[in-house]
Structure 1
Amino acid sequence: MSTLIDLNEFGELFKTFEHSAWRLETRRGYASDREDDTYHQFVETGTVTWDLDNDWCRNMRAQTAAGKRVGRVRIVDSPPTTGQLYLLDNAKRNAATGEDMRNLWRADAERLQLPAEDFWIFDSRFIALLRFDEADTLLHVELITEPSEVMRYAQVRDAAVHHSSPYEEFAALVAATGE
């Protein structure tokens, strides 16, 4: 069973999850990032001074301090797109809040037959499937609660985590290869 939820309801999930929140990020870039001042700063300078005291960071620190697990695996092209390099830099901010940030090459994700869709899995009970348009703008979120579908996404999570690298190692590899 699935239900469309609005972006405000989606945002509340990050305050109400009970023990875990995990995301697979598969897009080559996100419109919301390109609209952010930090993206322009990154394009101009190659680095960003991240705000660790915004709403997202405060909430993630509170959630992880309460013992909840938050993580992501980001799929990256070879060579990485500007948007992917931006998110690799952004992983410093996410990790500082307690998130487990990991990366996986797109070729490996394809070999593993991971789906090319972005989603969050909350408490291993429901999926928030993120629906984007061609311009990488988040349009809506589909909440999936069907147990067999949740299990399928949990298997995707397990494979992605198992085959991915911590963002620090991945960033060092990207820097060393000049990708």
Structure 2
Amino acid sequence: MENGYIHIYTGNGKGKTTAALGLSLRAVCAGKKVFFGQFVKGMKYSEVKAAQYLPNFEIEQFGRTCFIDKDPEIEDIECAKLGIKECGEILEKGDYDLVVLDELTIGLFYKLFTIEDVLEMIKKKKDNIELVITGRYAPDELILIADLVTEMKEIKHYYTKGVEARKGIES
């Protein structure tokens, strides 16, 4: 049995979710089974349709709407805590080869759950599962337990010129 490692894709640059989706595609094409859990997100990004096209790929969102410019509501917290519970069960069961917890660190940043909740969930991970955690502001506690940490650094981005998220590229 192969050892599954913990990856973190963090930083203020574009590409964290995209990198996790790319790894998911690679895994599916290698015959592996993937679970992609999205925290904070409830909007219907294009990747939500991926399960229609990719065998052995499942995606679930544990968010409602974008609250980045306001405080999360109780329903946002409940969705996120349900996600922690469900993802903990998935990690414990071991039915997937790759599990992605997209925007998990944003959930921490907005205090939708605690670092203790996350560390408890990660402890349930079967040894063979490759685990990817994405999002800005990855805390030191997660960086410490990770085997691979990549920081996406923004150098230049067209949104500073007013370009909105484009379907198939950013959404």
TM-score, L = length of structure 1: 0.27
Structure number with higher strand proportion: 1
Relative contact order (alpha carbons < 8 A, sep ≥ 6): 1 or 2 greater?
Answer: 2
Structure number with higher helix proportion: 1
